[in-house]
Structure 1
């Protein structure tokens, strides 16, 4: 019996563990297999990296429309993925550096902090690691990203290693992000544009008609706000936003 107790303790000791840091400064450890989405309520980033003059990487705080607060990022590539998550109407939760995973893999204790945890309106959880495609060719990097994915997928969560998207899509979403917060464009203007925009018309045509006797550019902010919110859509990956973009109504 004593021998069985020792074996069981070793197994428990070697079981993968998740550490989560909370906004009040406390840290909680949970067995990874018992981790649930509700464990992240009132949690914060595992580490805090501030931009310092001369640093090689690019870090900062992004004011998210999805969360209503700031989300940290550590590179321009991470910021691009963060923008796309904030733009996705299905994403209702974004956590940066959500946890620290520790597990024994191939006989060695390893740790890993994922870049983002995304929650969708259907309850799906997706953990995202952001890494340039060139780095993925390194076997050590590929291995360091593979084992966390295997463990997280065992929870029924999705796992994504993201290396970029169509440049036009990212740049267009970056432009539309200027209109992401309510109040940037008066709600009355947005609702008027929504009532009057015609499905299938080009952006330039919609601007001219909505502007009436004014300059077409005066109607643009309301249309941009509708594109950010997803009430209007257009092919953002086809090229830079222009007057020739075809608008489609959603909902």
Structure 2
């Protein structure tokens, strides 16, 4: 005999839901309207990222300075967005494949796993999907990315479909990422560079002064560490060079 659901149950079944998986192996189903940033504490990616020889995607783990742990990515484009998030001083936490969203859309049950969830220091939450520009223009893919965005924005969070960035900027950030972890450059060398760098001077000038007569390349690591941390800035839309102007922040 068939069992009919009550109207209340049918209504609840149509509520957009989010499933979050935790490191202890448990899974929690949360109505989207009740979802909070705190629900992602101690969570793990919704699905495993596997790297198989010959596969077209380049998946892997990225050692994030922001999280202090590994963050998974499924493509080189995702890794590029992850690098920029790790470099952004406004980003406080990063979650890859943070959840599964299930909702009724135009009479169909749809599910979606976002690529990243960023928690900003301001408390804002940003959901990010990464797609190559040519694929994002495909009407079917564009629609598949649009309905989660509507849910996210109605919830008061930010939504981003990221298709890439300036190639010079990305190369500069990739280079600076080599200095992202504490201990790569001795803290005393970083603090000495911070005390002595002059606002508005060229990188080559700062290196020569810090090198004290030695090879100026030897003074480069602490300056790069300061650029990664955001204590110094320069125009990263242009290739880093000795002519790059350094600006002090804070």
C-alpha distance in structure 1 between counterparts of 2:175 and 2:8, whole Å: 55
CA apart distance, 1:7: 2.0
Q: Give per-residue Cα distances to partners, 1:113-171, cap 9 Å, x unaligned.
A: 00000011110000000000100121110000000000011111000000011111111
Q: Give per-residue Cα distances to partners, 1:176-232, cap 9 Å, x unaligned.
A: 000000100000100000000000000011101110121000000000000000000
C-alpha distance in structure 1 between counterparts of 2:11 and 2:167, whole Å: 47
CA apart distance, 1:11: 1.1
TM-score, normalised with respect to structure 2:
0.97
C-alpha distance in structure 1 between counterparts of 2:163 and 2:202, whole Å: 32
| SS of structure 1 residue aligned to 2:6 | helix
2:117 aligned with 1:103: no
In structure 2, what is the equivalent of residue 32 of structure 1? 32
In structure 2, what is the equivalent of residue 91 of structure 1? 91
Q: Give per-residue Cα distances to partners, 1:85-118, cap 9 Å, x unaligned.
A: 0000010000000000000101010100000000
Structure 1 residue runs of 4 or more that deviate by more than 3 Å after TM superposition: none
| SS of structure 2 residue aligned to 1:227 | helix
C-alpha distance in structure 2 between counterparts of 1:165 and 1:154, whole Å: 27
C-alpha distance in structure 1 between counterparts of 2:162 and 2:181, whole Å: 26
C-alpha distance in structure 1 between counterparts of 2:137 and 2:197, whole Å: 47
Matches within 5 A, 1:161-172: 161-172=161-172
In structure 1, what is the equivalent of residue 56 of structure 2? 56
Matches within 5 A, 1:26-175: 26-175=26-175
C-alpha distance in structure 2 between counterparts of 1:25 and 1:10, whole Å: 29
| SS of structure 2 residue aligned to 1:188 | helix
CA apart distance, 1:6: 2.2
In structure 1, what is the equivalent of residue 11 of structure 2? 11
C-alpha distance in structure 2 between counterparts of 1:197 and 1:134, whole Å: 43
